[in-house]
Amino acid sequence: MIWAKEETLTRQEIEEIQFTRLKDTLKRIYDKVAAYREKMDAVGVGCEDIKSLDDITKLPFTVKQDLRDNYPYGLFTVPKKELVRIHASSGTTGKPTVVGYTKNDMDMWTECVSRIACMGGATADDVAQISFGYGMFTGALGLHYGLENIGASVVPASCGNTQKQIMYMQDFGATLLVATPSYALHIAEVARDMGVDPSKDLNVKIGLFGGEGMTEPMREEMYRLWGSDMKATQNYGMSELIGPGVSGECLELCGMHINEDHFIPEIIDPDTGEVLPPGEKGELVVTCITKEALPLIRYRTGDITRLFYEPCKCGRTTVRMENISGRSDDMLVIRGVNVFPSQIEEVLLNVKEIGAHYEILVERKNYLDTMEIKVELADETLLDSYAKLGELEKKIKFSLKTVLGLDAMIKLVAPRSLKRFEGKARRVTDLR
Ligand code: DLL
């Protein structure tokens, strides 16, 4: 089912809506936000210079640092009393990034999430367990409102206390799970330990995953554990832009549909800032055109992807973005080679003797970068055979070398010995 008619407009119709909304948003922020006015004045661009949608490229970018510099409310276009919700994303460095919503922003957010939930197969008949952490993270409350809006019965389980989560799923008859993909895999593992086979003893048929990437091998692992009839889709978003609801995969699984009547996407070369043509890979830049409290203009997400404008088999005409292949800023440069953690994950998850959990440690020894990857064995009987372990290590090393062009040290560890995460997994430690 398609939730809204805006998902099936012609390109011309979408662009007309985008242009009108862009002009309105620009005027509002130019009048109300000194930081934006200064930025636009500095490059000599006024609202009147935006005469077509293509002119968006004349506008300056907004970056995370702008939010920090104007902490907490400096980029907001409405007085504080109009806010009905405040979230913040936990920056690893510096102050958190604060985001706010007016009543209308909440409605728009709910609408966007309803669309992506519907794309992933959710209906009013679902019992939806939300296993994202409730709190400042936008994931849980975002999905919560969207799923309630389509009529699903929401179970706000939050994350953690995994055994209890499994009990809820069994007793309340959950048919839909919302979680980060890594936590969904962990829940399945714990269920098996409890003697509960998620593919037989639970009835979860829809997985709305997001907040972090899910590679194709990881999706296969999801089907293996939760059952091959599960529909596991990816959902993308970012607190600064709204939270979840920016884009989501439909059941064709061929990229995430962007809610284009609310967000204008562009792809740029992260080094030069130059806009790249459709189909080329680069950093996603997004302009919010319907938000009241915090409408960011040309916000550099740091996420690497590409855009496809061909209409999808599902009937939606909105542009699709490919699954995120990394971030422009988490890319590791190891001995001069650019490495995305997702590439490593892809290799690891294709090796059947190992599980889905891993840790990457990057260090510098004697001026040389080293990368050590700890991977869990799927089956501990392998630990008894030194020869087999050696062979497996070699096999993983070889596959990594083929994909990355780089040597890595592989450390095979016992099943279930690596750290588990209840929210987003943090798998890379860079000690350089
Ligand atoms: O993660 C919003 C969200 C919650 C989206 C739940 C979907 C579901 P932040 O905490 O601000 O917001 O983190 C945003 O997470 O820039 C990406 O790098 C990453 N990310 C989010 N979804 C995906 C995804 C939420 N499906 C940052 N695939 C983004 C890959 C993702 N990365």
Region of 340 (left: φ > 0; alpha: ψ -120 to 50; beta: rest) is: beta
At 262 the pLDDT is: 98
pLDDT classification of 95: cutoffs 50, 70, 90: low
Distance 236 CA to ligand 1 centre (A): 5
212 lines ligand 1 (CB under 6 A): yes
Q: Which atom of ligand 1 is nearest to the CA of 90?
A: 10
For residue 94, pLDDT beyond 60: no
Write the pLDDT tens digit of every residue in 308-323.
Answer: 999 999 999 999 999 9
Q: Average of pLDDT values for 334-338?
A: 76
Q: How far is the CA of 422 from the centre of ligand 1 (A)?
A: 15
For residue 291, the one-letter residue type is K
Q: What is the pLDDT of residue 90?
A: 59
Of 2-11, 213-222, 369-378, give the lowest mean pLDDT range: 213-222
Residue 102 Cβ inside 6 Å of ligand 1? The answer reads no
Q: Are strands 97-102 and 127-130 parallel, antiparallel or unpaired?
A: unpaired
The lowest-confidence range among 176-190, 330-344, 373-387 is 330-344
For tokens 């008859």, the residue is 173
d(CA 381, CA 389): 10
288: pLDDT strictly greater than 80: yes
Domains of the chain: 1-313 (3.40.50.12780), 332-430 (3.30.300.30)
pLDDT the model gives residue 92: 37
* Mean of pLDDT values over 220-243: 96
Higher pLDDT, 153 or 186: 153
Cβ 211 under 6 angstroms from ligand 1: yes
Q: Does 333 have pLDDT greater than 90?
A: no
Q: Mean pLDDT across the chain, nearest whole number?
A: 94
Q: Would you tell me how many other CB atoms lie within 10 Å of the CB of residue 176? A: 28
The residue contributing the CA closest to ligand 1 atom 29 is: 238
Q: Which residue has the higher pLDDT, 189 or 52?
A: 52
What is the Å distance from ligand 1's center to 211 Cα? 3
Q: Report pLDDT for 182.
A: 83
Q: What is the pLDDT of residues 342-401, one digit of tens each?
A: 889 889 989 999 988 999 999 988 777 899 999 999 988 888 888 999 999 999 999 999
Q: Which residues pair with 85 in a beta bridge?
A: 101
Closest to 357 (Cα-Cα) out of 192, 177, 188: 188
Question: pLDDT at position 86, please?
Answer: 98
Q: For residue 94, how many other CB atoms are within 10 A of its CB? A: 11
Instruction: Note whether 163 and 157 are within 8 A (CB).
Output: no
What proportion of the chain, given as a percentage, has pLDDT over 70?
Answer: 98
Whether omega for the bond prior to residue 265 falls within 30 degrees of 0, making it cis, is no
**In this predicted structure, what is the pLDDT of residue 50?**
98
Q: What gap in Å lies between CA 85 and CA 141, rounded to an integer?
A: 11
Distance from the alpha carbon of residue 259 to the mean position of ligand 1, in angstroms: 15
Cα–Cα separations (whole angstroms), residue 154 to 1, 87, 143, 165, 174: 20, 21, 9, 13, 9
Q: Is the CB of 235 under 6 A from ligand 1?
A: yes
In whole angstroms, give the CA distance from residue 101 to residue 268.
Answer: 28
Q: Is the pLDDT of residue 414 over 90?
A: yes
Contacts for 381 with CB less than 8 Å, ≥ 6 apart = none
Query: Which parts of 34-105 are beta strand (E)?
Result: 83-89, 97-102
In Å, what is the CA distance from 33 to each residue of 50, 55, 86, 218, 430?
18, 21, 19, 43, 38
Name the DSSP class of 345: H
Taking 80 as the threshold, does the pLDDT of residue 194 lie above it? yes
The verdict on the CB of residue 301 being under 6 Å from ligand 1 is yes
Ligand 1 atom with the smallest distance to the CA of 237 is 5
Nearest to 199 by CA among 207, 360, 103, 287: 207
pLDDT digits (tens, 9 = 90+) for 376-393: 999 888 888 889 999 999
Residues sharing a CB contact under 8 Å with residue 293, sequence separation 6 or more, in sequence order: 76, 77, 78, 82, 83, 99, 100, 101, 102, 105
What b/e sequence results for 413-431 when a residue is b if at least 16 CB atoms lie within 10 Å of its CB, and e otherwise? Answer: bebeebeebbbbbebbeee
CB-ligand 1 contact for 207 (6 Å cutoff): no
> Closest Cα to atom 4, ligand 1: which residue?
139
Distance, in Å, from the CA atom of 177 to the CA atom of 198, rounded to the nearest integer, reads 12
pLDDT tens string 56-91:
999 999 998 899 899 999 999 999 999 999 998 754
407, 401 Cβ separation under 8 angstroms: yes
Centre of ligand 1 to C-alpha 329, Å, is 14
What separation in Å is there between the alpha carbon of 139 and the centre of ligand 1?
Answer: 8
Instruction: Express each pLDDT in 133-177 by its tens digit.
Output: 999 999 999 999 999 999 999 999 999 899 999 999 999 999 999
What φ, ψ does residue 9 adopt, rounded to 5°? Answer: -75, 165
pLDDT value at 93 more than 80: no
327 lines ligand 1 (CB under 6 A): yes
Of ligand 1's listed atoms, the one at least distance from the Cα of 238 is 12
- Which among 63, 294, 303, 304 is the best mutation to test ligand 1's pocket, defined by most ligand atoms within 8 Å of the CB? 303
Closest ligand 1 atom, CA of 132? 6
Q: What pLDDT does residue 91 have?
A: 46
Percent pLDDT > 90 in the chain is: 80
**E strand spans, 17-136:** 83-89, 97-102, 127-130
Distance of alpha carbon 327 from alpha carbon 241, whole angstroms: 16
- Specify whether the CB–CB gap between 58 and 48 falls below 8 A: no
Q: Are 347 and 356 in contact (CB under 8 A)?
A: no
Burial class (CB in 10 A: 0-12, 13-18, 19+), 393: middle
